[in-house]
A and B are shown apart, each in its own frame.
Chain A
Amino acid sequence: MPLIDLGAAIALGLRYFTIIYLTGLGGLFSERSGIVNIGLEGMMVVGTVMGAWGTIAYGPVAGLVTGAAAGLLFSLVHALATVTFKVDHIVSGVVINVVAIGLARFLSQLFFGQATQSDPGIPDFATINIPLLSSLPLGLGQAFKGMSPVVLVAFLMTMPALFVLNRTRFGLRLRSAGENPEAASSLGVRIWPLRYAGVAISGALAGLAGAFLAIEINGLFREGQTQGLGFIALAALILGNWQPLRLMAGALLFGIAQAIPLRLQDAPVISLLPEEFIRMIPYVITIIAIAGFVGRVQPPAAAGRAYEGAAT
């Protein structure tokens, strides 16, 4: 196999990594605050359509902002349902995903004049080459050439995420809301604002990831383009044991897996399979990873549980 293919696969894999990692980080904040978020996929969907709109209107930076803002606003529905009205988190998340499909069609009709896609070729970011890494031999340097600057931003997000979670008052209180809200509350911590904040962060990051998908991978909004990436982010979160660095490893694995059908279809062994079976590989890898790891991880103790105390 020419290694240049591998380089190209890693390059695309890093773009998918960006989506999975950003969305997973969002899910991490939501779940560590105690709110299970199955609706990440739907929040991402809203981000794709609004991100495409913002990009067409004002350029790609604005597109990321509108995508994130739309995801955040939409996620507040999940927060309202689960925190204020104490609806089962998974029921609400499932409904969020069903509603997002309709909402995306509606918004697409409104902004693009057709329900299922925008015009292709929306503006994207100028690419960058990573010094040193992009001159790796045997074609592997390909992986670090023509990189989207947002990929770097995604990697760098790890630091503020770790800092906020482990070193700030907000982060520690957020985690206490997800581990033992009753104890936190007895110490004077108000639970509901923390949980709203956790869900809002997840909505903003999932929306951002959706906008990135539309701008930097597909070059348009198209119905169904998220293809379960929000759930794969959830899988990466489980694999990562709800911790940013391990989540990053999981997102890298799943991101590269996404690139296999698109860039490694001619690689040895893989090329023996029919095209349709190659397309199954990312899903199969996700299932195997989840089934193999789930028993060895520990979700936040109060995730999925309504906090029954006073809502003040």
Chain B
Amino acid sequence: MATEAATQPRIRPEWIDFLVAQLIALAGAFAFAALIGAVIVIAYGEDPLFVYRTVWAFGTSRPQDFAIVLENATPLIYSGLAVAVAFKAGLFNIGVEGQYIVGMAAAAAAALTLSGLPTVLLLPLVIVAAMTGAMLWAAVPAVLKVKTGAHEVVTTIMMNGIAVSLVAWLILHPLRSDVTTTDLRTEDFPASALVPNLATSLGIEDVIPDSIVHLTWLFPIALVVCVTVWFMMFRTRLGYEVRAVGSSPGSAEAGGVSIGGTQIKIFLISGALAGLVGLNHILGDTGYLGSNYETGLGFSGIAVAFLGRNHPAGIPLAAILFGMLLRGQDGLAILTELPIEILIILQGILILSVVVAYELVSRALARRRQAQLGQAAS
């Protein structure tokens, strides 16, 4: 029977079918979202093609425009990865939001208390502090999930609420600057704690002015982290166990994998990745932690992860697309009468249609393979 199946020319390698199916799903979802977006734009009496061209032009026409897109994408890559690694084990880390906020506070505390150290020591320590803080924040829902069965969606959302209050207190009391009285913020971090600007390091700050664009080394590092996560998920024992627990917990346990142990490990890794989300904001842009810090990056990460198919190759692409839509809002504000929120709606429709399209295509694929195997076997 096996030899018969092998001679059947109609069975292609599984991964080609898989890739083609993913691309079809993606193209369909994009077309659908663009169509709905066009209807909304027409309802506002504007030209949809002009709107899409404007968004594209604002993200790509000059090097500095694309650098802004990449700057926008940087935190989203980290938060997308954080969501994705947990999702691979069947866990939903909706708490990236709270974890990165705690991570920023931990980074600020490290940068301010260890300010005497040189960059080679201080910067890594600050980054490790951010990852550790966020990881500890993720540890609570992870342990509760494994020990008591409390669903991580509910507990991580609650931890987000607690994180906001905790960090508000930290900024108001132990970390508060004595110098500035009007703003609620920490002292400026020492220069040795800041992440160098990419354009400055490469000597191209006349093309990409570092006063406007805060594209730092955290972007190339994000790509390295993507590769690392890919290696961990697909080439290590832990990654194998994570995927086994995610796709079939029963078989994983029968095969000797500890479900709880694996879930805790991957949730801690997810938390550590979440710790990197806020770093470009405080170490690459502001240079301090203020009470008006950037929010919502964790929730955008969920959208990025789903759009990027929870895969370390798809996530940076999805993050760059989101970075481009964010940049495109400036274009719409300047050149059209449209509310910029239209692009947020467009993002939402895109995510919804992507999720549905993937589901439809993967079900169709499964049905067809089953039919083919049935044919081959008969």
Contacts and interface: CB of A to CB of B under 8 A. Distances in A.
Answer yes or no: are A and B bound together in one complex.
yes
Interface of A: 38, 41, 77, 81, 85-88, 90-92, 94-95, 97-99, 101-103, 105-106, 109-110, 115, 227-228, 231-232, 234-235, 238, 274, 276-277, 279-280, 282-284, 286-287, 290-292, 294-295
Nearest to A224: B295
A85 B360 contact: yes
Interface in B140-190: 140, 144, 147-151, 153-155, 157-162, 165-166, 168-169, 172-173
- The list of the 3 closest CB pairs from A to B, nearest first, reads A102-B344, A99-B348, A276-B169
Contacts of A94: 92, 94, 153, 302
Contacts of B159: 283, 287
Contacts of B341: 102, 105-106, 109, 115
Given A94-B94, A98-B303, A98-B351, A228 B344 contact: no
Given A94-B302, A99-B352, A287-B140, 20 more contacts: A38-B153, A81-B356, A87-B359, A90-B153, A94-B94, A99-B348, A101-B296, A102-B341, A102-B344, A103-B345, A106-B344, A106-B345, A109-B339, A274-B169, A276-B165, A283-B158, A287-B150, A290-B155, A291-B144, A294-B149
Given A95-B303, A101-B299, A280-B166, A110 B359 contact: no
A280 B162 contact: yes
Interface residues of B, number: 45
A294 B148 contact: yes
A98 B144 contact: no
B312 to A, nearest CB: 19
A15 B306 CA distance: 36
B339 A106 contact: yes
A104 B254 CA distance: 46
Contacts of A277: 165, 169
B228 to A, nearest CB: 25
Interface in B329-361: 339, 341-342, 344-345, 347-349, 351-352, 355-356, 359-360
A115 B342 CA distance: 11
B352 A77 contact: yes
Contacts of B168: 276
Contact of B161 (A91, A95, A280, A291): A280
A194 to B, nearest CB: 21
B235 interface: no
B338 to A, nearest CB: 10
B53 interface: no
Interface in B73-125: 92, 94
A141 B168 CA distance: 35
B160 A228 contact: yes
B160 to A, nearest CB: 7
A110 B120 CA distance: 50
B368 interface: no
Contacts of B151: 238, 290, 294
B296 to A, nearest CB: 8
B62 interface: no
A246 to B, nearest CB: 17
Contacts of A101: 296, 299, 344
Contacts of B299: 97-98, 101
A274 B151 CA distance: 29
A227 B161 contact: yes
Contacts of A99: 348-349, 351-352
A81 B355 contact: yes
Nearest to A295: B149
A26 B166 CA distance: 32
B162 A92 contact: no
A279 B160 CA distance: 12
Given A98-B299, A106-B341, A286 B154 contact: yes
A132 to B, nearest CB: 37
A274 B344 contact: no
